[in-house]
């Protein structure tokens, strides 16, 4: 896409990115910021794109990501590592039964996973290894949408099985 083509489509893209920002934040100032930042980012890639449709699709994705980036910038979200957490007792030492509870919970999860079909087990194990859905799709020769859908259904089955076992 040439500079002239980009300038011709600019009003449409600006309106599109502004609307996404406005729906996300609900105010004009932040929506303006989303539109401006999105247009700057799009300008960097416009020469690599072939058609007007490509730039419109990319504009939507960029505006959503910019909205999230701005939100994170305004609202520093504090996170906590969950690796070595356990409910402390009154003297701040770890509860002696926490290991038993953890083991029981893991057993319930493992039983729920074992009740899945083989393909679902395979997908869940790949997600547990922190492999993204695109790579899982490549490894399993499935479309990305199918992988996402199958993972979501498998997780729902696991959740239902866990709830059954806990009641």
With 0.75 as the threshold, say if the pTM is over it: no
Q: How far is 13 from 56, CA to CA, in rounded Å?
A: 7
| Mean pLDDT, the chain, integer | 80
Question: What own/partner pairs with CB < 8 Å and gap ≥ 24 does 23-30 have?
Answer: 24/64, 24/67, 24/71, 25/67, 25/70, 25/71, 30/70
* Helix/strand/coil percentages in the chain, nearest 5: 75, 0, 25
Q: Each residue of 42-66: b (16+ CB within 10 Å) or e?
A: beeebeebeeeeebeebbeebbbeb
What pLDDT is attached to residue 106?
A: 73
Tens-place pLDDT, residues 77-102: 555 555 555 555 554 445 555 566 56
């Amino acid at each position: 896409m040439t500079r002239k083509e980009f300038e011709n489509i600019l009003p449409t893209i600006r309106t599109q990115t502004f609307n996404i920002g406005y729906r996300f934040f609900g105010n004009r100032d932040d929506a303006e910021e989303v539109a401006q930042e999105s247009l700057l980012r799009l300008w960097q890639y416009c020469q690599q794109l072939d058609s007007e449709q490509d730039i419109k699709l990319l504009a939507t994705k960029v505006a959503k990501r910019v909205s999230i980036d701005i939100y994170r910038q305004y609202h520093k979200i504090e996170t906590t590592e969950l690796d070595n957490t356990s409910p402390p007792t009154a003297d701040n030492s770890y509860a002696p039964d926490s290991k038993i509870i953890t083991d029981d919970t893991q057993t319930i999860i493992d039983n729920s996973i074992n009740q899945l079909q083989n393909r679902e087990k395979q997908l869940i194990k790949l997600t547990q290894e922190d492999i993204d859905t695109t790579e899982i799709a490549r490894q399993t020769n499935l479309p990305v949408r199918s992988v996402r859908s199958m993972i979501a259904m498998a997780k729902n089955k696991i959740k239902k099985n866990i709830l059954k076992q806990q009641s």
